[in-house]
Chain A
Amino acid sequence: MEAIGDLIGGFGMLFGDPEALFFTILAAFVGIVFGALPGLTASAAIAMLLPLSFYLGPLPALAFLYVIGKSGRYGGSIAAILFNTPGTAASAATMLDGHPMAKRGQPNRALRTATVASVFGDYVGEVILIFGAVWIAQYTRTFGPTEYFAIYAMAFVVIGSVVGKSVLRGILSVVFGALVALIGTDIITNTPRLTFGAPELRDGMSLVPLLIGVFVISEIVVQAERMAKGELVDAGLADTHRDDRLTFAEVRRLVPLMARSSLMGSFIGMMPGLGSSVACFVAYGEEKRRAPNGAEWGTGTIEGIAAPESANNAVSGPSMIPLLTLGVPGSTVAAVLIGVFLIHGIQIGPLLFSDTNMIITDTGDFFSSRELIFALFAAGLVGIAAYGAMGFWGGPLIGKTIARVPPRFLYPFIFLTAVTASYSARAQIMDVGIALLFGVIGYAMRRTDFSAAAFVIAFVLAGRMEESFRQALLLSDDGALIFLREPVAGGFLVVAVLVVAVRLIGQRRQARRVAAS
């Protein structure tokens, strides 16, 4: 009940801050547009717009990027349905039924089904986030450096082993991300590390050029390759529309399916590393198995759109639970939000829910971090309504407008925005070069099954993990045995070992099956 009171207070704070409200609504639109651009994702949008958030207060900045993460996931369904190209990996399953429906003259019905299902899933996920995070945070408040090191180690191993096709490459992505994060100066001894004697590297690597390189520039490179091969987006839609409406009776019929898919998506969202792309296929597969008309799925059924869309948007809220309660980002969007919290001097973790953890803004306003978090939750709820309204009535128009913009002009503009944004984070020309370097690295990672998401999450977490490790050892009388003697820490490490073992066994079985066939 306390959470409901705080949430009402959060709405009050949001509606009392016109800037925050404006950026929440703007984010809903920006996310839809970026998500709907074939190839570009919410992570790419956030990477490019992150520098803008440096100029905003904590609430507008967080609300802006958080809502882009939500609406970007939804926007991917527009590209999936209209262009048969998933705007984001999370929309890959939506394409299976969405595009056939659009092709037979029902694009509006498909888009509206996706909108209703996305909004439904997102609200379920957001409610689970609000109550789940508050409940978990009361238990994690007592954790010290020993437990935190174990949690970070578990997160590294779990994210590395589940996020991609290969356990080895996933863990290598994590190790590489952590090493890049250590470039700079050791915060305890002030010793330069991994700088190769270059004084410019003593301040370390900035998150913005790294994100832009891995998510935006590598994607632009892929799009340039596609254009060279003539792989143009072809909607192939019918000229005439028939029965192109979603009725209220159909929505009512979809409610149980959307509820089940949303719960599946929410559960998957709570696991660090497992994101929307997993959730959408799990929900699609499970609901197809249950459906009496399962044989029709894949030919353009509204159920085949609603299940993956509810699940992939339900991931959004719960993926923030590990971030807000433990400081561990469950997704790339959450990893970027860590940067925003830190820029505004806010320590993430369970203390965020404390009433006594005060934040003072540049303008002299002050509020507790708990008030800020509940205002962020309120922004999430408003953002869902905003992208729902925009998508329901404007989705077809947004899709058609994007289809009219020639990619040969669109991607150069995105490229110029990306390289300029990488400069804008620290006003250093070197950062543009770093973004290009990580663009090449990101492209090579895509081509060889490495995980960009694991790389970025490790980059964000590595410094904190090392700090906890060294602090725990300072407190220990038994050296590294402290991590096994403390039951909570030991438990997390055991979970990490189990997850890797299960994944390795699964991978080996799959390799045997492939070899046998």
Chain B
Amino acid sequence: MSEEIKVKKTAAMQEVEDKMTMLVQTGRLDNLIDVLAVVSDQIEMTTTPIVEKMVHSIDNIASAGFVTENAVRYAKRESAKNEVPSLFGMLKLLKDEETRKGLAFMLHLTKGIGKQM
């Protein structure tokens, strides 16, 4: 025996029902449930050490980006301020300690890449 129940729906409830009906009829709901299941499984399977390693990598990338951005802005400002240096002017630039520090870093970086080739 079944009983008929009357439900008063708001406009918002009717809209949700219409949209859900469309999702069921087109078969999309199955896919959406699969997507939610995958997301949920990912959260379940992720551990604190995994997140730690991931964020460490993100931090490295962000740090490298920060250093590069700073250097590029500085270089642009200096280039705009100064004439293109002559060969002798180039040598004068090399006298600067910070320039030499940066160049030495680039050479070490090159070696670091070379070691992996």
Chain B binds chain A: no
Binding site for A on B (CB under 8 A): none
Binding site for B on A (CB under 8 A): none
